[in-house]
Amino acid sequence: MANKIKLLIVDDHAVVRKGIQNLLEEEPNIDIIGEAADGIEAIEKVKTLKPSIVLLDLTMPQMSGFEVAKIISDKYPSTKSLIFSMHNNPEYMVTSVENGAMGYLLKDTTKEEILKALESVSVGHKYFPPTVSAMIIDGLLEQRKQKTTPNLKNTSLFAKISKKEREILKYITKGLSSQEIAEKLSLSVRTVSNHRANILRKTNVKNTAELVRLAVE
Protein backbone atom coordinates (compact mmCIF):
# COMPACT_ATOMS: atom_id res chain seq x y z
CA MET A 1 0.00 0.00 0.00
CA ALA A 2 1.38 3.36 -1.04
CA ASN A 3 0.13 5.42 1.88
CA LYS A 4 0.10 4.39 5.52
CA ILE A 5 -3.27 4.10 7.20
CA LYS A 6 -3.46 6.79 9.88
CA LEU A 7 -5.57 5.09 12.54
CA LEU A 8 -7.49 6.60 15.46
CA ILE A 9 -8.72 4.06 18.04
CA VAL A 10 -11.94 4.99 19.86
CA ASP A 11 -13.18 2.83 22.74
CA ASP A 12 -14.29 3.63 26.28
CA HIS A 13 -12.23 0.71 27.64
CA ALA A 14 -8.51 1.47 27.97
CA VAL A 15 -7.66 -2.24 27.86
CA VAL A 16 -9.34 -2.57 24.44
CA ARG A 17 -7.50 0.46 23.06
CA LYS A 18 -4.19 -0.89 24.38
CA GLY A 19 -4.92 -4.36 23.01
CA ILE A 20 -5.54 -3.04 19.50
CA GLN A 21 -2.45 -0.86 19.71
CA ASN A 22 -0.29 -3.82 20.76
CA LEU A 23 -1.79 -5.90 17.96
CA LEU A 24 -1.19 -3.38 15.19
CA GLU A 25 1.79 -1.25 16.21
CA GLU A 26 4.33 -3.40 14.32
CA GLU A 27 2.33 -3.32 11.09
CA PRO A 28 4.29 -1.37 8.46
CA ASN A 29 1.18 -0.05 6.72
CA ILE A 30 -0.51 1.27 9.86
CA ASP A 31 0.35 4.37 11.86
CA ILE A 32 -1.65 4.62 15.10
CA ILE A 33 -1.86 8.39 15.52
CA GLY A 34 -4.10 8.58 18.59
CA GLU A 35 -6.89 7.22 20.74
CA ALA A 36 -10.08 8.49 22.36
CA ALA A 37 -12.28 7.24 25.19
CA ASP A 38 -15.63 8.66 24.08
CA GLY A 39 -17.45 10.22 21.14
CA ILE A 40 -16.81 13.85 22.02
CA GLU A 41 -13.07 13.25 22.37
CA ALA A 42 -13.16 11.25 19.13
CA ILE A 43 -14.63 14.16 17.15
CA GLU A 44 -11.97 16.51 18.57
CA LYS A 45 -9.19 14.08 17.65
CA VAL A 46 -10.57 13.63 14.12
CA LYS A 47 -10.59 17.41 13.72
CA THR A 48 -6.98 17.86 14.89
CA LEU A 49 -5.26 14.61 13.84
CA LYS A 50 -7.08 13.99 10.52
CA PRO A 51 -6.91 10.17 10.63
CA SER A 52 -7.65 8.20 7.49
CA ILE A 53 -9.67 5.63 9.47
CA VAL A 54 -11.40 5.72 12.87
CA LEU A 55 -11.84 2.31 14.51
CA LEU A 56 -15.00 3.16 16.39
CA ASP A 57 -16.61 1.40 19.34
CA LEU A 58 -20.40 1.20 19.10
CA THR A 59 -21.43 1.47 22.75
CA MET A 60 -19.86 4.44 24.52
CA PRO A 61 -20.91 7.10 27.04
CA GLN A 62 -22.15 10.48 25.76
CA MET A 63 -22.44 9.47 22.10
CA SER A 64 -22.94 6.14 20.38
CA GLY A 65 -20.68 4.98 17.58
CA PHE A 66 -23.59 5.56 15.19
CA GLU A 67 -23.77 9.24 16.17
CA VAL A 68 -20.00 9.70 15.92
CA ALA A 69 -19.91 8.01 12.49
CA LYS A 70 -22.66 10.36 11.28
CA ILE A 71 -20.77 13.48 12.42
CA ILE A 72 -17.51 12.24 10.88
CA SER A 73 -19.27 11.43 7.61
CA ASP A 74 -20.95 14.85 7.48
CA LYS A 75 -18.09 17.07 8.68
CA TYR A 76 -14.89 15.14 7.89
CA PRO A 77 -15.60 13.10 4.73
CA SER A 78 -11.91 12.34 4.12
CA THR A 79 -11.93 10.26 7.35
CA LYS A 80 -13.61 6.85 7.18
CA SER A 81 -15.31 5.12 10.12
CA LEU A 82 -15.09 1.39 10.82
CA ILE A 83 -17.47 0.29 13.58
CA PHE A 84 -15.89 -2.11 16.08
CA SER A 85 -18.56 -3.95 18.04
CA MET A 86 -19.35 -7.07 20.06
CA HIS A 87 -22.85 -7.23 18.54
CA ASN A 88 -23.18 -9.61 15.57
CA ASN A 89 -26.39 -7.95 14.43
CA PRO A 90 -27.16 -7.23 10.73
CA GLU A 91 -29.58 -4.46 11.77
CA TYR A 92 -26.73 -2.66 13.57
CA MET A 93 -24.59 -3.12 10.47
CA VAL A 94 -27.26 -1.50 8.30
CA THR A 95 -27.65 1.38 10.78
CA SER A 96 -23.87 1.85 10.71
CA VAL A 97 -23.89 2.25 6.93
CA GLU A 98 -26.91 4.58 7.10
CA ASN A 99 -24.87 6.78 9.45
CA GLY A 100 -21.91 6.93 7.09
CA ALA A 101 -19.67 4.15 8.42
CA MET A 102 -17.66 2.20 5.83
CA GLY A 103 -17.76 -1.10 7.64
CA TYR A 104 -18.49 -3.18 10.69
CA LEU A 105 -15.99 -5.39 12.50
CA LEU A 106 -16.63 -7.79 15.38
CA LYS A 107 -14.48 -7.54 18.50
CA ASP A 108 -13.90 -11.30 18.70
CA THR A 109 -12.18 -11.30 15.32
CA THR A 110 -8.61 -12.17 14.30
CA LYS A 111 -5.74 -9.82 13.63
CA GLU A 112 -5.82 -10.90 9.97
CA GLU A 113 -9.44 -9.85 9.64
CA ILE A 114 -8.80 -6.48 11.32
CA LEU A 115 -6.00 -5.83 8.80
CA LYS A 116 -8.20 -6.95 5.91
CA ALA A 117 -11.01 -4.65 7.08
CA LEU A 118 -8.69 -1.66 7.49
CA GLU A 119 -7.17 -2.18 4.05
CA SER A 120 -10.60 -2.58 2.40
CA VAL A 121 -11.98 0.56 4.02
CA SER A 122 -8.82 2.54 3.25
CA VAL A 123 -9.35 2.05 -0.49
CA GLY A 124 -13.05 2.91 -0.33
CA HIS A 125 -14.63 -0.54 -0.06
CA LYS A 126 -17.23 -1.38 2.58
CA TYR A 127 -16.35 -4.21 4.94
CA PHE A 128 -18.58 -6.59 6.91
CA PRO A 129 -17.87 -9.80 8.84
CA PRO A 130 -17.38 -12.82 6.53
CA THR A 131 -20.55 -14.39 7.95
CA VAL A 132 -22.61 -11.46 6.68
CA SER A 133 -22.87 -11.05 2.93
CA ALA A 134 -22.70 -7.49 1.61
CA MET A 135 -25.72 -8.48 -0.50
CA ILE A 136 -27.72 -9.07 2.70
CA ILE A 137 -26.73 -5.63 3.98
CA ASP A 138 -27.66 -4.03 0.64
CA GLY A 139 -30.99 -5.84 0.72
CA LEU A 140 -31.77 -4.64 4.24
CA LEU A 141 -30.76 -1.10 3.27
CA GLU A 142 -33.14 -1.19 0.31
CA GLN A 143 -35.95 -2.46 2.53
CA ARG A 144 -35.32 0.36 4.98
CA LYS A 145 -35.43 2.96 2.19
CA GLN A 146 -38.71 1.63 0.85
CA LYS A 147 -40.29 1.23 4.25
CA THR A 148 -39.06 4.04 6.44
CA THR A 149 -42.37 3.92 8.29
CA PRO A 150 -44.29 0.71 8.98
CA ASN A 151 -47.16 -0.07 6.71
CA LEU A 152 -50.00 -0.58 9.16
CA LYS A 153 -52.72 -1.20 6.57
CA ASN A 154 -53.56 -4.51 8.22
CA THR A 155 -56.25 -2.82 10.31
CA SER A 156 -57.45 -6.00 11.98
CA LEU A 157 -53.95 -6.42 13.45
CA PHE A 158 -53.00 -2.83 14.27
CA ALA A 159 -56.33 -1.05 14.82
CA LYS A 160 -56.15 -1.64 18.57
CA ILE A 161 -52.80 0.03 19.20
CA SER A 162 -52.65 3.67 20.28
CA LYS A 163 -51.04 6.57 18.43
CA LYS A 164 -48.09 6.52 20.84
CA GLU A 165 -47.68 2.76 20.34
CA ARG A 166 -47.68 3.27 16.54
CA GLU A 167 -44.92 5.85 16.99
CA ILE A 168 -42.91 3.41 19.10
CA LEU A 169 -43.53 0.64 16.57
CA LYS A 170 -42.12 2.89 13.82
CA TYR A 171 -38.84 3.10 15.76
CA ILE A 172 -38.87 -0.63 16.58
CA THR A 173 -38.98 -1.41 12.84
CA LYS A 174 -35.91 0.80 12.39
CA GLY A 175 -34.00 -1.40 14.83
CA LEU A 176 -33.84 1.04 17.75
CA SER A 177 -33.55 -0.28 21.30
CA SER A 178 -35.96 0.67 24.09
CA GLN A 179 -33.26 2.99 25.47
CA GLU A 180 -32.87 4.76 22.09
CA ILE A 181 -36.64 5.04 21.62
CA ALA A 182 -37.00 6.44 25.15
CA GLU A 183 -34.43 9.14 24.37
CA LYS A 184 -36.11 10.09 21.07
CA LEU A 185 -39.58 10.35 22.61
CA SER A 186 -38.49 11.75 26.01
CA LEU A 187 -39.98 8.77 27.84
CA SER A 188 -38.57 6.44 30.47
CA VAL A 189 -37.20 3.07 29.34
CA ARG A 190 -39.81 1.41 31.57
CA THR A 191 -42.62 3.26 29.75
CA VAL A 192 -41.28 2.22 26.35
CA SER A 193 -40.92 -1.39 27.54
CA ASN A 194 -44.53 -1.33 28.78
CA HIS A 195 -45.71 0.01 25.42
CA ARG A 196 -43.74 -2.73 23.62
CA ALA A 197 -45.39 -5.38 25.79
CA ASN A 198 -48.81 -3.84 25.13
CA ILE A 199 -48.22 -3.83 21.37
CA LEU A 200 -47.27 -7.53 21.46
CA ARG A 201 -50.33 -8.31 23.59
CA LYS A 202 -52.78 -6.29 21.48
CA THR A 203 -51.49 -7.64 18.15
CA ASN A 204 -51.24 -11.16 19.56
CA VAL A 205 -47.72 -11.83 18.25
CA LYS A 206 -45.05 -13.75 20.13
CA ASN A 207 -41.98 -11.55 19.82
CA THR A 208 -40.54 -8.34 18.41
CA ALA A 209 -39.09 -10.05 15.31
CA GLU A 210 -42.53 -11.33 14.29
CA LEU A 211 -44.05 -7.91 15.03
CA VAL A 212 -41.51 -6.14 12.79
CA ARG A 213 -42.10 -8.66 10.00
CA LEU A 214 -45.86 -8.07 10.13
CA ALA A 215 -45.48 -4.29 10.40
CA VAL A 216 -43.31 -3.91 7.29
CA GLU A 217 -45.03 -6.45 5.07
Q: Dump the DSSP string for 151-190.
A: ----HHHHTTS-HHHHHHHHHHHTT--HHHHHHHHT--HH
pLDDT for 47-102, tens place per residue? 999 999 999 999 887 889 999 999 999 999 999 999 999 988 878 888 898 899 99
Total-model pTM: 0.63
For residues 150-176, give the mean pLDDT.
72
Residues of the chain with CATH 1.10.10.10: 155-216
Residue 211 is predicted with a pLDDT of 74
129/106 Cα distance (integer angstroms) = 7
CB count within 10 Å of CB 99 equals 20
Closest CA to 128 of 99, 101, 96, 105: 105
153/159 Cα distance (integer angstroms) = 9
Note the CATH architecture for domain 155-216: Orthogonal Bundle (1.10)
pLDDT for 5-22, tens place per residue? 999 999 999 999 999 999
Residues of the chain with CATH 3.40.50.2300: 5-141
Q: What is the CATH number of domain 5-141?
A: 3.40.50.2300
